[in-house]
């Protein structure tokens, strides 16, 4: 709490001083009065005394305007009725019982009669301009109608014995009110006063039998709580017996005080912050030494955006673990909490703790698994080990729950069984009807899941819908052992975590574009509660935003309103990844176009193996990938020595197209960075690109639609380079085949076709699956046609 605040509560004109103290500067003439025996006149103030207090009298213009007589032991000040011009009258620390003389001061604006013996509530005719009154530390018991005192703006009625707040309704200018240390047990009668400062604190905890030591300031601000060092609240059952003063147990009757900025309710018995939620101008609250015990209570003031300063010292809530961070998180505008400045570090920590950004969560998840993995004894896997130099091919389908990505993944793995196998994740949720352990998920208990984390089994984990999900390294290795790439589905958090790892999968976003249709699908599944459906639907926006804000984050975006359509798109996209399209195209060209063969390329370019890597454009010999070959385990690192100088027709087509792209960029026809977000589309007339723009329009801003011009450009790029730039073609441009795919993709290869030598024998049902052939020229090239 700041000093500024307390000063607001203590108007300078209403200064008071400890009882019995002397301040010669304030009361010159006191000693003289004492010496002359004036003080013996039973506290009667006389005209002589008034005039002897020469330096206390200020005459401006027509007469006496300011009289200050503190601590003069005065009991009778009736003589002042003749001083009609007084505007400011200060009589604190006397023994005055009657102030009827004030009735004769029509110009009085400021009156300080604190620390007297007045029991009569405003026992004088109202001066027309009376603005500030201090009646604290008197003997008043009952508030009465103050409608005649409508000019009052500040009033200190603290340290009296009021039991009820009343009579203030017409004080339409009252902005500053203190009712500290009375006997009020309920806040009422404040109506919709224009109060900006309200003080209802109670005094220091102490037994009733002991005298109450008055605080030095009569109108204490929230910053000046009585005993900041003693932060322990009294037990509830002792409160009534050992304390006197206000006994508020609830915050009520404040809801219409829309102007309230500073509120002091310290040292009461309040256990909830309910009742403050509408006070939108509140900037400072003092609730020191009350009975607030739950952090949840702060939710009531969560929306008070101007709240900068709250003091809850000495409340049981402080015992809660991480109390300070939790409050700082809930009240993100705070600058001072419990009289301590809120630091920037605390703010960041609180957000990271209670609502970590997805990236922070992912980094944490990754770090956890990495550390646990490192703590394990080293394991030698019998399949290829991915490393920073040789990322293992993977395909990740991501999107909101129930969007169909799981079905798509299963279907793809069936269809392209020579390339992909389903990576089975672990989950703590139970199986749905029809799901099989080990196929859809490995279903494990929470305890087992935790154990697996500690054993460093996972690559990534997430918590979703109250359950845990995780992809183990073993799941990927199991697939790798078969010579296949792992296809998994996961939520965005999993993708973010995976992106921290050395795996470099292709990420395909599968996203609903028609919210109602998606909601209907979820409902029809009959698996989800309305809340779960709401959450899934709300996450569409999360995915769409990620796609918008992080260009290149997803390698492809496939709308999934129609699952069949989505599958066909996915299939096409995957074929592009695997360069199957190009191989088929190359085969067709070789057969159908004698010009190509007549160029003389064919004999040299006839591939010795179709196992080219899309990124590097390299070709490996089958022997290097024979599991019986020692090189098998290290085929990525040995890949260089296995390079074949020859290029397949498909690779040549691909390289020419890329050269064309570079040429166009040089002459200023570059498709721009934007097109690279959808790199697959600019390479191959993908049906993904064909289908996305139309569906994307239906996203209503959810997903960045594909630029149709980019698509057109991609189609154009598919033309033979010679056609558009004859001649230039003769000057080969040295460019990495993958350089225009996405930033960084020229550094590491991504999802190369799986070498046949590493595959398990083909089962009959997979016969129709597209696969790289040993000799594309002799292989039937109708896979794509057959599969539509």
Ligand X SMILES: Nc1ncnc2c1ncn2[C@@H]1O[C@H](COP(=O)(O)OP(=O)(O)OP(=O)(O)O)[C@@H](O)[C@H]1O
Task: Catalog residues that contact ligand X under the rule CB under 6 A.
Answer: 401-403, 405-406, 425, 429, 460, 462, 464, 469-471, 489-491, 494, 527
Contact (CB, 8 A) for 1 and 287: no
Q: Which is nearer to ligand X, 399 or 617 (CB)?
A: 399
Question: How far is residue 652's CA from residue 583's CA, in Å, rounded to a whole number?
Answer: 10
Least distance from C-beta 418 to ligand X, angstroms? 24
Nearer Cβ to ligand X (369/758): 369
Beta carbon nearer to ligand X, 312 or 479: 479
Least CB distance to ligand X at residue 766 (A): 24
Instruction: Provide the minimum distance between the beta carbon of 567 and ligand X in the complex, in angstroms, as a whole number.
Output: 14
Termini Cα distance of the chain: 73
Total residue length of the chain: 788
At its nearest, how many Å lie between ligand X and the CB of residue 576?
Answer: 24
CB 771 within 8 A of CB 502: no
Spell out where 122-272 has E strands.
Answer: 132-134, 154-156, 176-178, 197-199, 262-264
Tokens of 235: 């037990």
Nearer CB in complex with ligand X: 187/409: 409
CA–CA distance, 510 with 405 (Å, rounded to integer) = 6
CB count within 10 Å of CB 249 equals 16
Residue nearer to ligand X on the CB measure, 525 or 786: 525
Query: Which residue has the CB atom at the shortest distance from ligand X?
Result: 494
Count of other CB atoms within 10 angstroms of residue 276: 22
Q: How far apart are CA 408 and CA 584, in angstroms?
A: 24
Cβ proximity to ligand X, 233 vs 400, nearer residue = 400
Angle, nearest 10°, between helix axes 492-500 and 530-549?
40
Ranges of beta strands (E only) in 306-402 are: 309-311, 336-337, 340-341, 394-398
Residue 441, phi then psi, degrees to nearest 5: -145, 165
Q: From CA 637, how far away is CA 475, in angstroms rounded?
A: 23
Reading the block at residue 344, the tokens are: 């920037």
Q: How far is the CB of 353 from ligand X (least distance, A)?
A: 22
Q: How many of the other CB atoms lie within 10 Å of CB of 431?
A: 13
Residue closer to ligand X (CB basis): 60 or 527: 527
Judged by beta carbon, residue 425 or residue 480, the one nearer ligand X is 425
Minimum Å gap between C-beta 495 and ligand X is 8
List the structure tokens of 448: 């087992």
Query: In angstroms, what is the minimal distance from the CB of 396 to ligand X?
Result: 9
Distance of closest approach, residue 489 Cβ to ligand X, in angstroms: 4
Least distance in Å: CB of 668 to ligand X?
43
Task: List, as one string, the DSSP characters of 552-578.
Answer: TSSSEEEE-SSHHHHHHHHHHHHHHHT
Cβ closest to ligand X, residue 392 vs residue 469: 469
Give min distance, CB of 403 to ligand X, in A: 6
* φ/ψ (deg, to 5) at 295: -65, -30
Q: Taking the CB of residue 87, how many other CB atoms lie within 10 A of it?
A: 20
Is the distance from CB of 589 to CB of 596 less than 8 angstroms?
A: yes
> In this complex, which beta carbon is closest to ligand X, that of residue 464 or of residue 567?
464
């Amino acid at each position: 709490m700041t000093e500024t605040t307390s000063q607001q509560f203590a108007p300078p004109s209403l200064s008071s001083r400890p009882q019995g103290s002397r301040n010669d500067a304030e009361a010159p003439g006191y000693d003289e009065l004492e010496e002359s025996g004036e003080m013996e006149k039973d506290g009667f103030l006389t005209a002589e005394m008034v005039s002897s207090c020469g330096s206390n009298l200020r005459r401006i213009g027509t007469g006496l305007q300011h009289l200050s007589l503190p601590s003069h032991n005065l009991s009778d000040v009736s003589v002042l009725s003749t001083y009609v011009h007084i505007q400011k009258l200060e009589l604190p620390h006397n023994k005055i019982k009657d102030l009827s003389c004030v009735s004769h001061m029509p110009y009085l604006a400021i009156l300080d009669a604190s620390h007297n013996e007045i029991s009569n509530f405003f026992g004088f005719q109202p001066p027309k301009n009376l603005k500030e009154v201090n009646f604290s530390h008197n003997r008043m018991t009952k508030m009465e109608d103050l409608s005649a005192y409508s000019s009052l703006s500040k009033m200190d009625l603290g340290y009296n014995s009021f039991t009820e707040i009343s009579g203030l309704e017409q004080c339409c200018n009252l902005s500053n009110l203190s009712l500290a240390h009375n006997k009020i047990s309920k806040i009422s009668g404040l109506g919709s006063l224009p109060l900006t400062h309200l003080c209802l604190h109670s005094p220091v905890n102490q037994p009733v039998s002991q005298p109450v030591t008055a605080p030095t300031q009569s109108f204490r601000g929230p910053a000046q709580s009585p005993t900041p060092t003693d932060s322990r609240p009294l037990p509830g059952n002792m409160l009534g017996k050992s304390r006197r003063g206000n006994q508020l147990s609830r915050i009520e009757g404040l809801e219409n005080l829309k102007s309230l900025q500073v509120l002091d309710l310290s040292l009461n018995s309040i256990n909830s912050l309910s009742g403050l939620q509408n006070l939108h101008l509140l900037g400072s609250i003092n609730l020191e030494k009350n009975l607030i015990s739950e952090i949840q209570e702060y939710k009531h003031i969560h929306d008070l955006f101007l709240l900068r300063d709250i003091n809850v010292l000495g409340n049981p809530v402080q015992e809660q673990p991480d109390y300070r961070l939790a409050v700082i998180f809930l009240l993100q505008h705070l600058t001072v909490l419990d009289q301590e400045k809120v630091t920037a570090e605390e703010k960041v920590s609180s957000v990271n703790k209670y609502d970590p950004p997805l990236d922070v969560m992912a980094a944490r998840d990754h770090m956890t698994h990495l550390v646990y993995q490192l703590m394990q004894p080293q394991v030698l896997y019998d399949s290829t080990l991915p490393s920073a130099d040789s990322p293992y091919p993977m395909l990740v389908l991501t999107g909101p729950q129930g969007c169909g990505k799981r079905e798509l993944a299963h279907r793809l793995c069936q269809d392209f069984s020579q390339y992909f196998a389903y990576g089975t994740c672990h989950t703590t949720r139970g199986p749905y009807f029809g799901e099989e352990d080990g196929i859809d998920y490995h279903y494990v208990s929470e305890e087992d899941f935790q154990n697996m984390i500690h054993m460093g089994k996972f690559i990534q984990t997430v918590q979703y819908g109250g359950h845990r999900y995780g992809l183990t390294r073993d799941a990927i290795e199991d697939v790798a052992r078969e010579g296949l790439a792992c296809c998994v589905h996961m939520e965005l958090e999993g993708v973010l975590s995976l992106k921290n790892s050395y795996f470099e999968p292709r990420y395909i976003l599968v996203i609903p574009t028609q919210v109602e249709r998606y909601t209907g699908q979820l409902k029809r599944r009959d698996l989800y509660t309305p809340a779960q459906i709401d959450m899934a639907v709300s996450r569409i926006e999360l995915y769409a935003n990620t796609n918008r804000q992080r260009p290149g984050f997803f390698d492809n975006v496939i709308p999934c309103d129609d699952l069949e359509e989505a599958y066909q798109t996915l299939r096409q996209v995957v074929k592009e990844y695997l360069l199957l399209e190009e191989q088929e195209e190359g085969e067709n060209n070789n057969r159908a176009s004698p010009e190509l063969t007549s160029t003389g390329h064919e004999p040299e370019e006839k591939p010795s193996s179709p196992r080219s890597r899309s990124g590097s454009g390299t070709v490996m010999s089958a022997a290097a990938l024979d599991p019986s070959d020692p090189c098998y385990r290290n085929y990525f690192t040995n890949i260089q020595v296995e390079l074949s100088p020859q290029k397949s027709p498909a690779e040549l087509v691909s390289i020419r197209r890329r050269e064309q792209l570079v040429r166009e960029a040089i002459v200023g026809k570059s498709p721009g960075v934007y097109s690279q977000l959808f790199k697959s589309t600019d390479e191959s007339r993908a049906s993904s690109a064909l289908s996305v723009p139309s569906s994307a329009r239906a996203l209503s801003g959810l997903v960045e639609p594909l630029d149709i011009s980019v698509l057109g450009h991609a189609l154009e790029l598919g033309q033979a380079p010679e056609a558009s730039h004859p001649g230039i073609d003769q000057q080969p441009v040295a460019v990495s085949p993958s350089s225009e795919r996405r930033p960084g993709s020229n550094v590491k290869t991504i999802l190369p076709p799986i070498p046949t030598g590493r595959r398990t024998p083909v089962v009959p049902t997979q016969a129709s699956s597209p696969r790289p052939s040993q000799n594309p020229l002799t292989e039937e090239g109708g896979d794509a046609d057959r599969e539509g």
